[in-house]
Amino acid sequence: MAYKNYILVCGGTGCESAKADDIYKSLLSAVEANGLESDCQVVKTGCFGFCEKGPIVKVLPDEAFYVEVKPSDAEEIVKENIIKGRLVERLLYKEDPNSAAKKDADEIKFYQKQVRVVLRNCGMIDPENIDEYIARDGYGALEKVLFDMTPDDIINELKVSGLRGRGGAGFPTWMKWNFSKGVEADQKYIVCNADEGDPGAYMDRSTLEGDPHSVLEAMAIAGRAVGASLGLIYIRAEYPLAIHRLEVAMKQAREYGLLGKNILDSGFDFDIEIRLGAGAFVCGEETALLSSIEGNRGMPWPKPPFPAVKGLWGKPTVINNVETFANIPVIILKGGKWFSSIGTEKSSGTKVFALTGKIANSGLVEVPMGTTLREIVYDIGGGIKGGKAFKAVQTGGPSGGMLTTEFLDTPVDFDTLVAAGSMMGSGGMIVMDEDDCIIDVAKFYQEFCVEESCGKCSPCRIGTRKLYDILEKISQGKGQMSDLEKMEEIGSAMKKAALCGLGQTAPNPILSSIKNFRHEYISHIENGKCEAGKCKHLVTFTILEDKCIGCTLCARKCPVNCIAGDKKVPHVIDQSKCIKCGACYESCKFGAIVKR
Amino acid sequence: MGKMTLEELRNLRNSAKKEMNKRDTEGKDIEIIIGMGTCGIAAGAKETLAAFMKKLEENNISNVIVRQTGCMGLCYVEPTVEIKAPGMPNTIYGKVDAEVAAKIVVDHIVNKQLVSNHIFDRPAADIIK
C-alpha cells in the first residue's frame, strides 16, 4: 500500500488530555468521508515536545505543523491540506500575533537548537506498530550485538561513547555494565528505572509513550553484554498510557521473536516483565526500587555492595534509567565515537529536559550537553510568560538547586550543575519569575521531601522535618538570622549522613537558595517582608482610597466577606478577617489594591 | 507474522523503510507537484498521482517528494503537474495521464530530459514578469 500523505497526531499524555484522541478519530472519519483511505494515513505518534501549543498535528510530506488543534478542525485539515494542497493558515504557529505564520517545525525557534537523539522517533512513528520502529533501523542494534559484537565490544563501545546515566547522578554506564559482567552468577537482571517522580518532570514518560521499543531493545542489548536473561521495567502505576504502550510493544516484540527464547536463532534468550510501583518518590532510588520489586517496603539499603554486583535477590543487577537505555541502540548503530562528538568533553550526548513553570513554551526539549541555560530558557523556551522578569531556574527537582541569572550562561552538563550547587537530576527544569518567592518554593520542595522520606534513616526523616519547620517559621516572619546557619548545619549533615540520594540531596534547594538568594531570606527575617507577596503571613492587602471608585467587584470576589463599602464609595478591608488569598488584588481593574 | 529469522527481520526492515522514507523530507531534492483542483481531479489527476507513485516505486527512486496543490490555472490542459529538480528548469507539464506520468519519471527525473510535447508555461508568472 502506497500512501502519499501522512497526518501525524500527537498521542502523548499531554495532548491526549487535550482531546488528541478525538482529533485522531475525527481525522480518521474525515479521511474516510472523503474517500482517501488509500492515499492518506493517519498515525497516532509520540510527543512532539511542543506541549505548550498542543495538541499538535503534522501533515507530511508538506511538513505543515499545526498547533492547538481541535477535533472540529479535522475536516478542514483534510479538505484543505490533503485534498487541495493548501495550508490551513489559521492553525499554523506564530511566534507572536503579528509575525508571519511558521509553516514547518524547522522554522520554529523552539526546535532550532534541539538535537533529537533520545526522542529520535517521538513524533515520527506510531509507537504501537513495531514495523515502523523496525523501519527506522529498530532492532538493528540488537542484530549487530548478537551477530557481530562480543560482550566486551558492547561495553567498549559504551566506554568510547562516554554515556553517563541520565537518572541524575551521571555514573558512567559502561562501568555499571562492566561490574555486572565481571561477576559470576547463575542469574543476572537488567532493570529499567521508569519511576520518574520529580514534580514537573516527564521525559521518561514521553520516551516510553513515543518510542517504547527503543527501551526494550536496549535492555536486551544490556542483557547480552552482562549475561542476563530477564529484564524488569519498574514503572509507576500513574503512567497508564506508557504502561499500555510498553505492553503492546512487548507483545509485538515477542511475536516477532525479538524477545523470548533463542532471539533470531542466535541462541540468546531474553525476556522482559513489568513491575508496577505505587508512586513513592524514594523508589526512584535504585536500592529502594529493588526492595520494592522484591515485594518489600520501598526502602534503600546501604551501598556498597552496589546493585551491579549484588542487587535484586542478591544477584548482579544493572539498573539504568529510561533515557539512558533509549540512547543505547543509537550508540551501537552509529558508534561511540559519533555519540561522544555531541555534547561536552565529560558529558557526551544530549539531555532531554521537561521545561515547565513560568516559561512561554513549556514542553519537552532535547539539547546537546553544554547548551547554556540562556539558550534553553530564552531561545527554546521563548523567555518568561507575560514578559515578567526571570528570577531563577530549578534543575533536578527536589534534589536540585536554584540557579540565578548569573548562571544563565553556564553550559549545562553534569559537572557544571554540581559545581553551581545544583544537579542534573532526571531533567526537570522549573522556571520561576519575579512573582515567585524563593522561600515559598523551597518550602514546597521540602514539604515534598518530608512526605516522601521513607523514614529509615534519621538524618533524612528528622532533617527534612526540621528544615521544613524552620522555613515555615521564616515564612511567617518569625525567623531569626541564626536559623540560616542552623539550616546550613542540618543540610550539610544530611548530605553526609543520609542513607540514600533522597536525603543527601533534599537540602539542595535550601542550601542553594541561601547562597544565591540570601537577601530574600534576610528581607523575610529582618524586615518581615515577602517581596513576591507569596508568604501570606507577611502580606497585607490594602485599598487605596484615592484610586478606588467603589465598583464593589472586590467585595463580591472576597471569599470571606471582609471587604466593606457602599457603591461608588471607597472600600475598606477588615484586616482581622482577611485570609490573604489575593482574590481582590487580582480582580481590581483600577490598580486600587496594593500588596505590601 | 510469527517468530522471525535474521533474514526476515532484514527484509521487513528494508520494505518498511521504503514506506517510512516517504514521511521523511530530508535529503529529498526533487518535487512533483500535482494539481488536484476540481478540474484536475475531473480530468483524472488521481490516476496520474497513482501512476507517479507506482513508477517511482518501480524505479526505486526515493529522493522525490510528491505533493499536491490546487488548480494551477491551466484548466484546459489538466491534469497538470509541476516538477522541480536540481539542474533542471521548474517545468509545468499539462495533459499528464498515467502514460505521460511514467514518461516524465523516466525522462525528466531519471535521464534529465524534458518531455517537450507536454510542457506548458505557468501563465500568471508570465504576466507578472
pLDDT in tens, A31-70: 999 888 888 889 998 888 888 888 999 988 778 889 999 9
List % helix, strand, coil for chain A (3-state, nearest 5): 45, 15, 40
Q: Is omega for the bond preceding A302 within 30 degrees of 0, making it cis?
A: no
A211 compared with B76, residue with greater pLDDT: A211
- What is chain B's mean pLDDT, rounded? 80
Q: What is the pLDDT of residues B70-121, one digit of tens each?
A: 777 777 888 889 888 887 778 888 888 888 898 888 888 888 888 878 887 6
pLDDT for residue B14? 87
Q: Contact A264/B9, CB-based, under 8 Å? A: yes
What is the structure's pLDDT at B123? 43
Q: How far apart are CA A217 and CA A190, in angstroms?
A: 12
Claim to verify: residue A544 and residue A577 sit in the same structural domain: yes
- How large is the average pLDDT for residues B36-50? 83
DSSP class of A95: S
Any bridge partners for residue A8, and if so which? A43, A58
In tens, the pLDDT along A110-131 reads 888 888 899 999 888 899 999 9
What distance in Å separates the CA atoms of residue A383 and residue A459, rounded to the nearest whole number? 39
CA nearest to B92, candidates B40, B51, B128 = B40
Question: What's A503's domain CATH number?
Answer: 1.20.1440.230
Contact indicator for A390, A377 with CB cutoff of 8 Å: yes
What is the distance between the alpha carbons of residues A422 and A509, in angstroms, rounded to a whole number?
8
Q: In this predicted structure, what is the pLDDT of residue A558?
A: 92
Of A408, A433, A458, which marks where a domain is finished?
A433
Cell digits of residue A266: 542466535
What range does the domain containing B87 cover? 23-128
Pair A447, A363 in one domain: no
A513 and A565 belong to one structural domain? no
Helix (H) or strand (E) segment spanning residue A464 = helix A458-475
Note whether residue B1 is domain-resident.
no
Q: How many angstroms separate the CA of residue B119 from the nearest CA in chain A?
A: 22
Distance (Å, whole) CA A526 – CA A470: 15
Residue at A379 is within a domain: yes
**Would you tell me which residues 115-174 of chain A have a C-beta closer than 8 angstroms to some C-beta of chain B?**
124-125, 131-132, 134-140, 143, 147
- pLDDT band for position A359 (cuts 50, 70, 90): very high
A545 and A517 within one domain: no
| ipTM over 0.85 threshold | no
- The residue type of A271 is D
- Please, are residues B31 and B67 in contact by the beta-carbon 8 Å criterion? yes
What residue of B is the nearest CA neighbor of A137?
A: B13
CA-to-CA distance for A271 and A254, rounded, in angstroms?
8
Residue B61 lies in a domain: yes
CB spacing of B16 vs A265 below 8 angstroms: no
Q: Whole-structure pTM over 0.90, yes or no?
A: no
Question: Does the residue A114 lie in any domain?
Answer: no
Inter-chain touch A137–B70, beta carbons under 8 Å: no
CATH code of A28's domain = 3.40.30.10
Compute the average pLDDT of residues A338-358: 93
Lowest mean pLDDT among A104-113, A498-507, B9-18: A104-113
Q: Is residue B15 part of a domain?
A: no
For residues A243 and A183, state if they share a domain: yes
Q: Look at residues A497, A525, A553 and tell me which one is the last residue of a structural domain.
A: A525
User: CA A305, CA A296: separation in Å to the nearest integer?
Assistant: 19
Residue found by looking up cell 488528541 in the block: A20
Q: Does A258 touch chain B (CB under 8 A)?
A: yes
Which pLDDT value is given to residue A455?
94
Interface contact A62, partner B, CB < 8 A: yes
pLDDT digits (tens, 9 = 90+) for A549-573: 999 999 999 999 999 989 999 999 9
State percent of chain A over pLDDT 70: 99
User: Distance between CA atoms of A456 and A298, rounded to whole angstroms?
Assistant: 10
**Helices within chain B (DSSP H only):** 6-21, 38-42, 45-58, 98-104, 123-128
Do residues A488 and A513 make contact, with C-beta atoms less than 8 angstroms apart? no
Rounded Cα–Cα distance for residues A334 and A341 (Å): 11
pLDDT at B27: 67
* Per-residue pLDDT, B127: 45
Domain co-membership, A327 together with A375: no
Contacts of A136 in chain B (CB under 8 A): 17, 20
| A385 in Cβ contact with A357 (< 8 Å) | no
In a domain, A118, yes or no: no
Find, among B32, B26, B19, B31, the residue nearest to A106 by Cα. B26
A88 min Cα distance to partner chain B (Å): 13
**Considering the domain boundaries, does residue A345 fall inside one?**
no
State pLDDT tens for residues A495-540. 999 999 999 999 999 999 999 999 999 999 999 888 888 888 888 8
A534 within some domain: no
Shared domain check, A443 and A421: no
Instruction: Give the integer Cα–Cα distance in Å for A170 and A424.
Output: 8
Considering only CA atoms, give the Rg of chain B: 17
Handedness of CA A49, A54, A55, A61 (dihedral sign): negative
**Which residues are registered as beta bridge partners of A392?**
A432
Residue B80 covered by a domain: yes
Residue B11 covered by a domain: no
What pLDDT was estimated at residue B128?
42
Give the pLDDT band (50/70/90) at residue B129: very low
Distance between CA atoms of residues A22 and A291, nearest Å: 41
Q: Are A152 and A283 in a shared domain?
A: yes
Residue A543 forms beta bridges with which residues?
A: A593
Which residues have CB under 8 Å from B50's CB, separation 6+?
B98
Does A107 contact chain B (CB < 8 Å)? no
Distance from C-alpha of A313 to C-alpha of A468, rounded to nearest angstrom: 36
What domain count does chain B have? 1
Amino acid in the structure at residue B92 = I
Instruction: Specify if B17 maps to a domain.
Output: no
The answer, yes or no, to whether residue B3 has pLDDT greater than 70, is yes
Q: What is the mean pLDDT of chain A?
A: 91
Helices A140-147, A322-334: inter-axial angle, 10-degree rounding: 70
What's the rounded mean pLDDT across residues A438-451? Answer: 94
Q: How is residue A579 written as a grid cell?
A: 485570609
Q: Does B16 reside within a domain?
A: no
The larger pLDDT score, comparing residue A307 to residue A533, is at: A307
Task: Quickly tell me which residue has 507577596 as its cell.
Answer: A533
| A201 and A269 belong to one structural domain | yes
Regarding predicted confidence, which is higher, A47 or A225? A225
Q: Does the pLDDT of residue A227 top 90, yes or no?
A: yes
Angle between helix A508-516 and helix A438-452 axes, rounded to 10 deg: 170
pLDDT at residue A139 greater than cutoff 90:
yes
Grid cell in block for residue B84:
522541480
User: Up-side HSE of residue A281: CA atoms within 13 Å toward CB?
Assistant: 24
List pLDDT tens digits, range A190-203.
999 999 988 888 99
In the block, cell 483511505 appears at: A37
Domain CATH number, residue B67: 3.40.30.10
CB contact under 8 A, B9 and A143: yes
- CB-based contacts of A514: which residues, under 8 Å, 6+ apart? A484, A487, A488, A521
Instruction: Tell me the nearest-neighbour CA distance from B88 into chain A, angstroms.
Output: 22
Question: Does A325 lie in the same domain as A419?
Answer: no
List CB contacts (< 8 A) between A255 and chain B.
1-3
- Give the DSSP per-residue string, B3-29: S--HHHHHHHHHHHHHHHHTT--TT--
Does some domain include residue A456?
Answer: yes
Residues A287 and A157 in one domain: yes
- Residues A428 and A445 reside in one and the same domain: no
Reported as a single tens digit per residue, the pLDDT across A147-189 is 999 999 999 999 999 999 998 788 999 999 999 999 999 999 9
Which of A341-355, A419-433, B12-26, B35-49 shows the lowest mean pLDDT across its residues? B12-26
Q: Which residue has the cell 540560616?
A: A484
What distance lies between CA B33 and its chain's CA centroid? 6
Asked if A348 contacts A340 with a C-beta cutoff of 8 angstroms, the reply is yes
Q: Would you list the DSSP string of A362-423?
A: -EEEEEETT-BHHIIIIIIT-SBGGGPPEEEEEESGGGS-EE-GGGTTSB-SHHHHHHTT--
Q: Residue B12 and residue A257: Cβ atoms within 8 Å?
A: no
Does pLDDT of A4 surpass 80? no
Identify the domain containing residue A390 by its residue range: 350-433
Q: Is residue B60 part of a domain?
A: yes
Question: Which strands sit side by side in the sheet containing B64-69, from one edge to the other?
Answer: B64-69, B30-35, B81-84, B91-93, B119-120
Inter-CA distances, A454 with A75, A282, A401, A470, A505, Å = 52, 7, 22, 21, 14
Query: A112 in a domain, yes or no?
Result: no
Asked whether the beta carbons of residue B69 and residue A132 sit closer than 8 angstroms, the reply is: no
Pairing of strands A390-395, A428-433: antiparallel
Query: Pick from A449, A389, A393: which is nearest to A417 by CA?
Result: A393
Chain B residues with CB inside 8 Å of A266's CB? 6
pLDDT band of residue A1 (cuts 50, 70, 90) is: very low
Bridge partners of A364, per DSSP, are A354
Smallest CA–CA distance, residue B125 to chain A, in Å, is 19
